[in-house]
Each structure stands twice: as C-alpha cells, then as structure tokens.
Amino acid sequence: MEILVCVKKVPDTADAEVVLKADGTGIKEDDLASGINEWDNYAVEEAIRIKETHGGTVTVATIGSADSEDVLRRCLAMGADNAIMIDDAAFKGADPYGIARGLRGLAGKGSYDLVLAGAQAGDDGYAMVGPVLAGYLGWPHATLVTSVLLEGTTVKVTRELEGGLEEMLKMDLPAVLTIQTGINEPRYVSIMGIRKVRAKEIPVLDPAAIGLSPGEIGANANLVRSAGLAVPPAGKEAEMLKGTPAEIARKILDIVKERGGVA
C-alpha cells in the first residue's frame, strides 16, 4: 500500500491574538506558534497505522519553504518513510485549486493507492484541497472520514455527518480521503525520535519537476481571489465579569441562581 499524505504548517490562532499586516493582505505570523495542521496530524497517524497493518510506504508532502521542514521531520519521526517538499515560492497566494494542482503533479509522479489529507486547515479552512485533488486525478474521494478499512482493491470508510450520525461508504482504490479529527490518537513524538531522522534527506521539488508551469499555480491563476482581510466588526459582546476569582465566582453563582433558576 503506497500512501501519500498531504500536510501543511499553520499558525496556531486558537488561543492567540491575531493581528493583521498593515496592508491587510495577511496576518502577522512572527509572534504566533506554528505546527502541523491538526487535521493533518490525524491523517499522518492514520497512514502509519495502515502501513503497520498492510505494509507499504508512507510519503508525506508539503507545499512550503525551509520553515516547514520541522513539520516534515516530525512526520518522519512518527513513522513516515519519506518526505517531499514542493518549493512554495511559485505558490505564493495560491488558492485551493493552485495547491491541488501542485499536489496532483506530485501524486502523478508516484504510484499511490491512497492519498490522505486533513479534512480542513486551521488557517483558511476551505476544506477543498482533498476533493478538488480527487477531481483532478479522476479518483473517488470521501471527506470527513472517521474510519478507514482496506479490503483488497477497495476501501470502506465512515464519514462524519451531523448530530452524531455517520455514513458508511465503499470505494475503489486509488482514492483520496480527507481525515476528520478524532479518527485515532496520534502518537507522541519525542525529541529523540526527531533526532533520529534529522539526517534523512528531504528532496525539494520545484514546479517544473512536477510538470507545472508557474502560470498554473500562482496568485494570477487563482479562481478564488483574495480581496482583503479585516478584523470582524464587533457584534454583540458579553457583559464582562471582573474582579478577583472569588468575586467572579460569587457573581457567576448569583447569575446561575437568579437568571438561570438552577443550583
């Protein structure tokens, strides 16, 4: 089983202040911690588990620059066999279609049975690259996958629907699956583990090496074009409770009793 996993490094904005660049084209990432996209981490783990059961190899790939190398090394330390970086210089400002074209070029160079990607990314959240890539490859796909079971030349998956419901699907290989968080428990990566893979060569491919011309992937090729970012207008805001933790706790209990009528 030859598996390609598409990963991406993203800034961690869940618990941090996000500040726009002065020209409004992006956010200031210098002060933000960053790491592998959460969904992608589950995808890498799932690929390694499949390899452990069925044999084969796991290749992780990213479209990025030197600062994404740590993410790829982390994947190698988890148990991926190979890592490939596609130099992202020509992809600057690319929309999900540009990214998917790059990944199609890469997938076309191998003979993969399965391509896994995170169901979405924690930064721009399009949730498009996986199914668009499948469309370009002409392969079956499933999004929001919560379990994967290989059966010969087919794969059985469950997809997460709303309200705790799942659907079960079967499809022919090769296929593209986008992985939902919670599908597995990603293994811990130790510093020792990362050290062990520090010498592993990570080839860096330029667009020409995957059969793409720069005109196909840069911002000029975008089908969806960014027209600027903004801080959301302040909407209804909560009434803030202030004071020492003890004072706040008292206020919370009062609200619970008086307005909630419980406790």
Q: Please choose, from the candidates 128, 130, 136, 241, the residue with its C-alpha nearest in 3D space to the C-alpha of residue 177.
A: 130
Q: Assign 103 to helix, strand or coil.
A: helix
Q: Assign 250 to helix, strand or coil.
A: helix
Q: Which is nearer to other proteins, 102 or 205 (CB)?
A: 102
Beta carbons of 192 and 78 less than 8 angstroms apart:
no
201 binds other proteins (CB under 8 A): no
DSSP annotation string for 124-144: T----HHHHHHHHHT--EEEE
Residues ≥6 apart with Cβ < 8 Å to 10: 34, 35, 36, 37, 121, 122, 123
Q: How distant, in Å, are the alpha carbons of 1, 88, 141, 154, 166 from that of 157?
A: 16, 32, 10, 10, 10
17 binds other proteins (CB under 8 A): yes
Q: Which is nearer to other proteins, 89 or 256 (CB)?
A: 256
Q: Which is nearer to other proteins, 2 or 123 (CB)?
A: 123
Task: Round to whole Å and give the CA distance between 26 and 39.
Answer: 22
Cis peptide before 140 (omega within 30 of 0): no
Provide the minimum distance between the beta carbon of 20 and other proteins in the complex, in angstroms, as a whole number: 7
Candidates 182, 192, 198, 199: give the one binding other proteins (CB under 8 A). 182
In the region spanning residues 75 to 94, those forming contacts with other proteins, defined by CB under 8 A, are: none
Q: Please choose, from the candidates 164, 104, 162, the residue with its C-alpha nearest in 3D space to the C-alpha of residue 138.
A: 104
Provide the minimum distance between the beta carbon of 61 and other proteins in the complex, in angstroms, as a whole number: 19
Q: Which stretch binds other proteins (CB under 8 A): 48-56, 61-69, 189-197, 245-253?
A: 245-253
240 binds other proteins (CB under 8 A): yes
In the region spanning residues 207 to 236, those forming contacts with other proteins, defined by CB under 8 A, are: 222-232, 234-236
DSSP annotation string for 29-56: -TTS-EEE-HHHHHHHHHHHHHHHHH--
Q: Which is nearer to other proteins, 64 or 122 (CB)?
A: 122
6 binds other proteins (CB under 8 A): no
Q: Which is nearer to other proteins, 191 or 223 (CB)?
A: 223
Q: Which stretch binds other proteins (CB under 8 A): 51-59, 76-84, 85-93, 242-250?
A: 242-250
54 binds other proteins (CB under 8 A): no
Number of residues that bind other proteins (CB under 8 A): 84
In the region spanning residues 148 to 167, those forming contacts with other proteins, defined by CB under 8 A, are: 156, 158-167
